[in-house]
A = this chain, B = another copy of it.
Amino acid sequence: MVNQDQIAVNALRMLGVDMISRAKSGHPGITLGAAPIAYTLFEKVMQFNPADPAWFNRDRFVLSAGYGSALLYALLHLNEFQLSLDDLKAFRQLGSKTPGHPETGWTPGVDASTGPLGQGIGMAVGMAMAERHLAALYNRPGYSLIDHHTYALVGDGDLMEGVSQEAINLAGNYQLGKLIVLHDANHISLDGPLSDASCENQAQRFCAAGWDYLEVEAGDTNLLGIEQAIKKAQTTAKPTLIAVQTTLGYGSPLAGDHRVHGAPLNTTDREALAKFLDWPGQPFEIPATVRQTFAEAVAKKQASYEKWQHLFAKYQRRFPQAARELTQATLAINGVQSNYQPGEWVATRQASAENLQQVASANPQFWGGAADLASSNKTKLTTGGHFTAATPQGKNVSFGVREFGMATALNGINLHGGGRAFGSTFLVFSDYFRAAVRLAALMKLPTIFIGSHDSIAVGEDGPTHEPVEQLASFRAMPNLDVIRPADANETAAAWRMMAKTKHRPSLLVTSRQALPVLNETIEAPIERGGYILAEAKKQIPDGILLAAGSEVHLALAAKRELMKDNIDVRVVSMPCQNRFDEQPLAYREQILPSQIENRVAIEMGASQAWDKYVGLKGKILGVDRFGLSGDGTELTKAYGFTIEKIVATVRELP
């Protein structure tokens, strides 16, 4: 091994540790332990261009062990990404380019936001799925446009998370041979030795899931071993886990002790480390020879980048439509519309199914699947076939009963770019993938999540299958569109809106039961979140009924009933609260004038979501207890979702 490499690794170690000490916060353990893995990957293996960090065919890298952020930033800096030494010195400070955990879209060179364990490997699986799928769809003879590897660095914690199991099963089943996961195997977890919590045989586990498994001994110094293992992994048809035996906090007096995981080294320990690594300089001092080592590695990558750019330019000329599909930020919406007539009854999950096909027809790069509920969610694409190891061009992904793994993979697909992915399950099981929706929202990623069977109207399957609090709980999440359309018209409008959304995920919530298609929704301005569905005759209405989803038609019927008694109310449909809340005050005031305090909100879900609109003097017909098992129609009646009850509630207002 060339000594310069070892020195460069030590530079990473010291730089990372010094960043952490200066910040008085961070994780030296992995910085010292995993530096050889990170270095080998970036300098000896991966293709990228620091001047164009979004290069479409770059190798992807996910630091699933997100607490290793200092290591990653040090690496990006030395690889000449737009991250200065001053940025490193501002590690973990408010507004800096170097936040506590990696954030994609904020720090150049960071391919995924990580920190919540297990999700990084899931996103890497998604990226590798995207690579495989897009290559099958878009490469042409002589145009190997999409052809790169996906790497992830995981810690013991990542591999304990259940979502990692879901992810590795997906990768194994799809034989994602270009996915290579490096395991920083230091056998220490935060609370102590890993053996306190685990006796798992990872080799057996990964082989069981259809992976290859390689091990590198003495990973603290064995750079060549790491490189050889990665190169071997590149040759096989299966995804590969490479377990690199490392020492947490290598070189520091606390090496191998769980206390070095999450607290800065003190001055004495820093000194001892520098001595051990034979590191002469001051903090943040980088020897010119080290800069030279990295610069040479980066320079070598330039040729493949330029070759690809040349290839892509030719591809664009030869296949302009395909090139457009691969590069457009949003989805086309031509043909996305409801073909149902007012008065027909159709479940919004069914209406959504047709819009889904329309989107797929207009956008060959659109694909996705379900967590083993495609037939219930109505999310199977009628054309496009199945995505399998043998047919990677297929558009329907059978994610299995793996909601969370699915959601992380969808995020990975959308992070990869080039395609756009959706995934579905029952709304109630959105609880299983909630953490991935949050990460999508944080990453400003336009992942489309679909939750069908959206209320107690689910009926016979009972309370475990009936969402109650899910709507409110997702509406509380920042940067997420929660869309609950009232009928087929609003559903089509929702799909058009989701297709055009660039920087946030959507959760489309659909009904199991049939709902009447309304006249009033035909031109639904859904991007405004809420709108006047049916106006009162009076200048100043006697009250306002607010509703979303399956309760909108009830509100409309209640309005008619109230009119018989000369109670003249406005009906507001509110399919997307957060979009409404983002409207200018004037619009909100127009829809919900402050002076009208007689307000009733109606939704089969937790009332918490409606408090802001009805105020102290209004009423909410919501569901603030769990559901029951029984006929859906009976159940909704028993819970008070009837025209009579709405009318009576309005009458009770002053």
On A, residues with C-beta under 8 Å from B are 23, 25-26, 66, 92-96, 99-101, 103, 113-118, 156-158, 160-166, 169, 172-173, 189-192, 196-205, 207-210, 370, 372-376, 386, 388, 398-405, 428-429, 431-432, 434-435, 438-439, 441-442, 459-465, 468-469, 472-479, 594, 597, 606-609, 611-612, 615-617, 624-626, 628-631, 634-635, 638
**Which residues of the partner chain B approach A96 to less than 8 Å between Cβ atoms?**
629-630
**Which residues of the partner chain B approach A26 to less than 8 Å between Cβ atoms?**
460
**Which residues of the partner chain B approach A401 to less than 8 Å between Cβ atoms?**
117-118, 156-158, 160-161, 189, 197
Report the nearest B residue to A620, measured CB to CB.
B612
Q: Are B200 and A172 in contact (CB under 8 A)?
A: yes
Report the nearest B residue to A190, measured CB to CB.
B372
Instruction: Report the bound CA distance from A100 to B428 in whole Å.
Output: 15
Q: Are A442 and B463 in contact (CB under 8 A)?
A: yes
**CB pairs A–B below 8 angstroms (23 shown):** A92-B460, A92-B630, A99-B628, A100-B460, A101-B462, A115-B461, A115-B464, A115-B465, A116-B428, A116-B432, A156-B401, A162-B162, A162-B164, A162-B405, A165-B165, A169-B199, A189-B401, A196-B386, A469-B476, A469-B477, A469-B478, A473-B474, A476-B606
Q: B115, B438, B472, B479: which contacts A476 (Cβ < 8 A)?
A: B472
Report the nearest B residue to A432, measured CB to CB.
B435
Report the nearest B residue to A438, measured CB to CB.
B431
Instruction: Report the bound CA distance from A348 to B405 in whole Å.
Output: 34
**Which residues of the partner chain B approach A474 to less than 8 Å between Cβ atoms?**
473
Q: B93, B388, B434, B460: which contacts A631 (Cβ < 8 A)?
A: B93
Report the nearest B residue to A612, measured CB to CB.
B611
**Which residues of the partner chain B approach A210 to less than 8 Å between Cβ atoms?**
199-200
**Which residues of the partner chain B approach A612 to less than 8 Å between Cβ atoms?**
607-608, 611
**Which residues of the partner chain B approach A198 to less than 8 Å between Cβ atoms?**
169, 173, 400
**Which residues of the partner chain B approach A624 to less than 8 Å between Cβ atoms?**
478
**Which residues of the partner chain B approach A92 to less than 8 Å between Cβ atoms?**
460, 462, 629-630
**Which residues of the partner chain B approach A162 to less than 8 Å between Cβ atoms?**
118, 161-166, 402, 404-405
**Which residues of the partner chain B approach A388 to less than 8 Å between Cβ atoms?**
196
Report the nearest B residue to A164, measured CB to CB.
B162
Q: Given the known inter-chain contacts A173-B199, A472-B476, please indicate yes or no for A190 contacting B373, CB distance below 8 A.
A: yes
Q: B115, B203, B465: which contacts A101 (Cβ < 8 A)?
A: B465
Q: Given the known inter-chain contacts A99-B628, A615-B615, please indicate yes or no for A473 contacting B469, CB distance below 8 A.
A: yes
Instruction: Report the bound CA distance from A156 to B400 in whole Å.
Output: 9
Q: Are B196 and A205 in contact (CB under 8 A)?
A: no
Q: Are B115 and A372 in contact (CB under 8 A)?
A: no
**Which residues of the partner chain B approach A99 to less than 8 Å between Cβ atoms?**
462-463, 628-629
Q: Are B192 and A200 in contact (CB under 8 A)?
A: no
**Which residues of the partner chain B approach A169 to less than 8 Å between Cβ atoms?**
160, 198-200
Q: B431, B476, B478, B616: which contacts A594 (Cβ < 8 A)?
A: B616
In the complex, which of the residues A374, A398, A459 has the most CB atoms of chain B within 10 Å of its own CB atom? A398
Report the nearest B residue to A163, measured CB to CB.
B162
Q: Are A100 and B372 in contact (CB under 8 A)?
A: no
Q: Are A197 and B161 in contact (CB under 8 A)?
A: no
**Which residues of the partner chain B approach A472 to less than 8 Å between Cβ atoms?**
472-473, 476, 608
In the complex, which of the residues A172, A200, A201, A209 has the most CB atoms of chain B within 10 Å of its own CB atom? A200
**Which residues of the partner chain B approach A199 to less than 8 Å between Cβ atoms?**
169, 172-173, 209-210
